[in-house]
Structure 1
Amino acid sequence: MPWTLVSEVKTEAIDVSGNFICSNIEAVKQAVAAGLGIGQIPVNNMVCELKKHELIRVLPDWHGAPMPIYLVYRPGVNKLKRVEAILEYLLSIQEQFEFTPDLHLCQPAAFDRSEMTSNQERKKRSHWPTLCYPS
């Protein structure tokens, strides 16, 4: 599955290849920092690395396509105060996750699609694209 990158004027699907598959953001960040390639990761997971210039953002005018976030709970559970609190919080911050290039960043890591299962494909889609590489 290609990475979908979005700019202010267009959307591009970019085919990527490689032999590193990972659904853990920290592991992808470490792989990128080790020089294994480029990849995708939320910018909030790379603040320190960016400030220290350990990773550098690539294609700053592009970011990953918006992705839905789901909160799943049993019927009737939303009556609990803690569930209501998290629902209210998520609704209050949802605007931060609209088209905001500064909130998205990718880490270097290539993915070998030939070895991905359908479950791995779904996990792959959860990455946010904006490209970075180790400095």
Structure 2
Amino acid sequence: MDRLRTLALFKTVAEMGSFINAADVHGVSASVVSRAVADLEATLGVRLVERTTRHVALTAEGRGVLDQVAAVLQGYDELMASGRHGANEVTGEIRMTAPLSFVRSVSPAVAGFLAQYPKVSVDLQLRDAPGDLVQEGIDLAMRIAWDLPDTLIARRIGSAPLGLFASPSYLERKGVPQHPSELGEHDCLRYNGFGKSVPWTLEHPGTHERILPNVAGKLVTNSGDALLAAAVHGAGLVVLPLFLVAPAMREGTLVQVLADWHSPDLELFLTYSSRRNQPKRVRALIEWLAKHFESTPMDPTHVIPAQAGTLGGR
């Protein structure tokens, strides 16, 4: 029998002085109540009640146990009430990770969330490795990838268009490629953040031509920011998300090349350890981020000067 139920039955017997009356209160038979009290006596190793044909009286030990049982049951009731209240209130701390390159995108979203939910705090760790959610106690991790392993619980909340970019100084020195087949003649800065060097894929939406150019270069790194900095300083051509290069394009330190050729969009995911019994604060942040990136897509082309995409392919 459930231990809390056993304690509750004993408490009612003690208060009413009767197995039968206690049974009526709990909707069970008198034999069930009697067996529960006997089981409790056996567990504690003391006699709790004196039984007569008409009445049940507590022993001295029973009176002492009753006080403790009442405290346990009251504590349980308070715990349940507190849990129900907490479950309905958006409060507490959320531990979250996001890629380093997301700082300009995720920080405004989190700031808006905190303004909406003042009783919540967010511990936001910016790093490219998401880590072990369970082992590190992470509630939520933002990931950017073309896809994720089936073993991960994830929700897609947006996409990040990619483009091919270079600095004006590099293009003046090496020339502007007019077709993806020419990329093998250039210094190409490559990303290997998914455990291996990521191949470049370029597609032409008009002709449906798809090319995987044979690219090579002197820099391979797992950091989008490192690739961006190297490209700005004229180290070579680079494929990066538009949201990451938008500031450099506004400043004129990077321009888009082969603008008519597109790379498959990266997908933006939120990953978490379980869908069951998520704290309300975590569910609220998931919905907030999903709505934020739906209303603020990670495609900043509306703020990029038109002439930035005119080199090569146009």
Q: What's the TM-score once normalised by structure 1's chain length?
A: 0.59
Q: Percent identity?
A: 26
Instruction: Measure the CA separation in 1 of the matches of 2:277 and 2:214.
Output: 41
Instruction: Measure the CA separation in 2 of the matches of 1:91 and 1:23.
Output: 26
Instruction: Measure the CA separation in 1 of the matches of 2:211 and 2:288.
Output: 32
213, 229, 236: which one aligns with 1:37: 236
Is residue 2:262 matched to residue 1:72?
no
Change (3 A) 1:45 1:67: closer
Instruction: Measure the CA separation in 1 of the matches of 2:288 and 2:223.
Output: 25
Gaps of 5+ in 1: 104-129
Is residue 2:280 matched to residue 1:81?
yes
Residue number in structure 2 paired with 1:53: 252
Structure 2 letter corresponding to 1:4: T
Give per-residue Cα distances to partners, 1:12-62, cap 9 Å, x unaligned. Answer: 211211121112111111110111110111111122211121111101112
Query: Are 2:242 and 2:300, in contact at CA under 8 Å, matched by a contact in 1?
Result: no
Instruction: Measure the CA separation in 1 of the matches of 2:229 and 2:280.
Output: 38
Instruction: Measure the CA separation in 1 of the matches of 2:202 and 2:285.
Output: 30
4+ runs of 1 displaced by more than 6 Å? none
Query: Are 2:243 and 2:300, in contact at CA under 8 Å, matched by a contact in 1?
Result: no
Instruction: Measure the CA separation in 2 of the matches of 1:89 and 1:39.
Output: 32
Larger strand percent: 2
Q: What's the TM-score once normalised by structure 2's chain length?
A: 0.28
Q: CA RMSD in A?
A: 3.1
Give per-residue Cα distances to partners, 1:73-121, cap 9 Å, x unaligned. Answer: 1114672234323432454435946xx7949xxxxxxxxxxxxxxxxxx
Larger radius of gyration: 2
Larger helix percent: 2
Residue number in structure 1 paired with 2:200: 3
Change (3 A) 1:77 1:21: farther
Report the Cα offset of residue 63 of structure 1.
Answer: 2.3
Gaps of 5+ in 2: 1-197, 303-308
Structure 2 letter corresponding to 1:75: S
Query: Are 1:50 and 1:56, in contact at CA under 8 Å, matched by a contact in 2?
Result: yes
Change (3 A) 1:44 1:69: closer
Query: Are 2:205 and 2:262, in contact at CA under 8 Å, matched by a contact in 1?
Result: no
Structure 2 letter corresponding to 1:3: W
Change (3 A) 1:89 1:6: farther
